[in-house]
Amino acid sequence: MSHAHIDHSGNLPNLVKQGFDGPIHATDATQDLCRAMLMDSAFLQEKDAEYLMRRRTRRKRVMDGYEEPVVEPLYRQEDAQKTFPLFAPLPMNGTMDLGEGLSVSTVEAGHMLGSVSMVLTDGKVRIGFSGDVGRKNLPIIRDPQTMLPCDYLIMESTYGDRLHQDEGTVLDKLADVVNRTAARGGKIIVPSFAVGRTQQLVLLLNQLVSAKRIPGIPVFVDSPLAVNVTETFRKYSNLFDAETAAMLSDDAEGDVFGFSRLRYIRDVEDSKALNGLRGPMVIISASGMCEAGRVVHHLKNSVGDPRNTILITGFQAENTLGRKILDKWPEVPIFGEPFRLRAEVAKINELSGHADQRELLTWLKPIAGGLKKIFLVHGESRQQEALKVVVEATYDVEVVIPSRGDRFEVS
Ligand SMILES: [Zn+2]
């Protein structure tokens, strides 16, 4: 497994539930992050299923005879727990024998804490997997390392059709959004991946508060998962980039993820209490695409007020609530009900953990000459088509866009 993000790890308990019992190789940081994330994911699925079942019971009374289907969570916390004993080592920037003539080599992918790109080989054919390709100069994490040579490459294409617009620095943009919203007395709701993005935002807000560039308004990280994950980040400070390491050694408390107006919220009652608070504040809450978790409740309470800002800081997949907000739908569906979207919608692209088209081409350059074929994954078809065109125009290599269920023989 290349890294811990839920779109890569989230199905593991489901596989285990269906009988998978092989080793799951991942770096130490990825394993630790996954333990927290998969428990959280299972918990959220249990809660969502309960919520939908309660609503079903309510509606059944109203709708007289019509029955919505029974909702079962995809997996439960006990399924997540059965996954953890299968975790097996994967080096960060090293080579490892997997037995049966196979070995795997990894390099830092620069996408999130513990993320790697890798090459798997039987001594004859080398199959590369990009994982998610990161970017230079992201907060906290180190830059991507040069990819290892391989014969076939399975490559991500999330931003295969676009270039990141890096206008001004992320600190300037974040300061503007906070100051503008605070001036009108609004709340800033930041849907964020609990893992990675939240820690980056906290680090940046810490810098802005220290530099007195934003007012000392309360900042809440409302996610039990983010609390646990931030502990894991503290544990793996050896993986930080040079800037964050320097910040850490300068910090009086030795904690770059804490400052006086910042509160981490674990308890659900404390989370609900945030709805009653008035005045400007920042609420960072998961999930990143607004599909589940506490942020959905905060959005329900905030989208209708033009003083508030919904700050989008990450990729929003098609058909997610996050995407609808980003596309400024006049009404957005929350828990199945329509809500008028009157809050400001702001976007900060600079924290994107994914390389854009140009960065993907640069990442590919050192190994492109030796490649027999590239398989594009992890992108919508528009991105894949666009990336295929530029990669084939730039390098002499065939690019394949596989469909679900396709099989390929490699030699
Ligand atoms: Zn990822």
Domain boundary among 28, 60, 90: 90
Q: Quick one: tokens of 227?
A: 């609390």
**391 C-alpha to center of ligand 1: Å?**
22
Domain boundary among 53, 73, 90: 90
**3 C-alpha to center of ligand 1: Å?**
7
288 and 186 co-located in one domain: yes
CA 267 to chain centre: 23
Q: What is the average per-residue pLDDT within 283-294?
A: 89
**200 C-alpha to center of ligand 1: Å?**
14
What total number of domains does the chain contain?
3
We report the CATH number of the domain holding residue 339 as 3.40.50.10890
- Per-residue pLDDT band for 65 (boundaries 50, 70, 90) equals low
**8 C-alpha to center of ligand 1: Å?**
7
Alpha-carbon distance of 331 to 340, in angstroms, equals 4
213 and 333 co-located in one domain: yes
Radius of gyration for the chain, computed over Cα atoms and rounded to the nearest angstrom: 22
Contact 103, 97 (CB under 8 A): yes
112 and 237 co-located in one domain: no
**227 C-alpha to center of ligand 1: Å?**
19
HEC string for the chain: CCCCCHHHHCCHHHHHHCCCCCCEEECHHHHHHHHHHHHHHHHHHHHHHHHHHHHHHHHHHHHCCCCCCCCCCCCCHHHHHHHHHHEEECCCCCEEEEECCEEEEEEECCCCCCCEEEEEECCCCEEEECCCCCCCCCCCECCCCCCCCCCEEEEECCECCCCCCCCCCHHHHHHHHHHHHHHCCCEEEEECCCCCHHHHHHHHHHHHHHCCCCCCCCEEEECHHHHHHHHHHHHCHHHECHHHHHHHHHCCCCCCCCCCCEEEECCHHHHHHHHHCCCCEEEEECCCCCCCCHHHHHHHHHCCCCCCEEEECCCCCCCCHHHHHHCCCCEEEECCEEEECCCEEEECCCCCCCCEHHHHHHHHHHHHCCCCEEEEECCCHHHHHHHHHHHHHHCCCEEECCCCCCCCCCC
pLDDT of residue 166: 64
265 and 194 co-located in one domain: yes
- Per-residue pLDDT band for 68 (boundaries 50, 70, 90) equals confident
222 and 339 co-located in one domain: yes
pLDDT of residue 142: 96
**164 C-alpha to center of ligand 1: Å?**
17
Q: Kindly report the number of other CB atoms within 10 A of residue 317's CB atom.
A: 13
We report the CATH number of the domain holding residue 154 as 3.60.15.10
Average of per-residue pLDDT values in the chain: 93
Contact 282, 178 (CB under 8 A): yes
**353 C-alpha to center of ligand 1: Å?**
7
pLDDT of residue 61: 62
pLDDT of residue 266: 92
Lowest mean pLDDT among 57-71, 298-312, 360-374, 386-400: 57-71
Question: Does residue 317 surpass a pLDDT of 90?
Answer: no
Alpha-carbon distance of 157 to 169, in angstroms, equals 25
Nearest to 399 by CA among 380, 363, 371: 371
Q: What is the average per-residue pLDDT within 221-235?
A: 92
**53 C-alpha to center of ligand 1: Å?**
31
193 and 78 co-located in one domain: no
| Residue given tokens 């709805």 in the structure block | 275
264 and 330 co-located in one domain: yes
**111 C-alpha to center of ligand 1: Å?**
7
**69 C-alpha to center of ligand 1: Å?**
33
Question: Does residue 318 surpass a pLDDT of 80?
Answer: yes
Question: Does residue 203 surpass a pLDDT of 90?
Answer: yes
Question: Does residue 58 surpass a pLDDT of 90?
Answer: no
**326 C-alpha to center of ligand 1: Å?**
20
**344 C-alpha to center of ligand 1: Å?**
27
Domain boundary among 90, 118, 137: 90
206 and 330 co-located in one domain: yes
**135 C-alpha to center of ligand 1: Å?**
12
**160 C-alpha to center of ligand 1: Å?**
15
384 and 397 co-located in one domain: yes
114 and 182 co-located in one domain: no
**1 C-alpha to center of ligand 1: Å?**
11
Taking only the tens place, the pLDDT of each residue in 136-192 is: 989 999 999 999 999 999 999 999 998 887 656 899 999 999 999 999 999 999 999
Per the document, the length of the chain is 411
**4 C-alpha to center of ligand 1: Å?**
7
Contact 75, 42 (CB under 8 A): yes
**196 C-alpha to center of ligand 1: Å?**
9
**5 C-alpha to center of ligand 1: Å?**
5
209 and 287 co-located in one domain: yes
**7 C-alpha to center of ligand 1: Å?**
7
**331 C-alpha to center of ligand 1: Å?**
29
Segments forming the whole domain that contains residue 251: 170-347
196 and 155 co-located in one domain: no
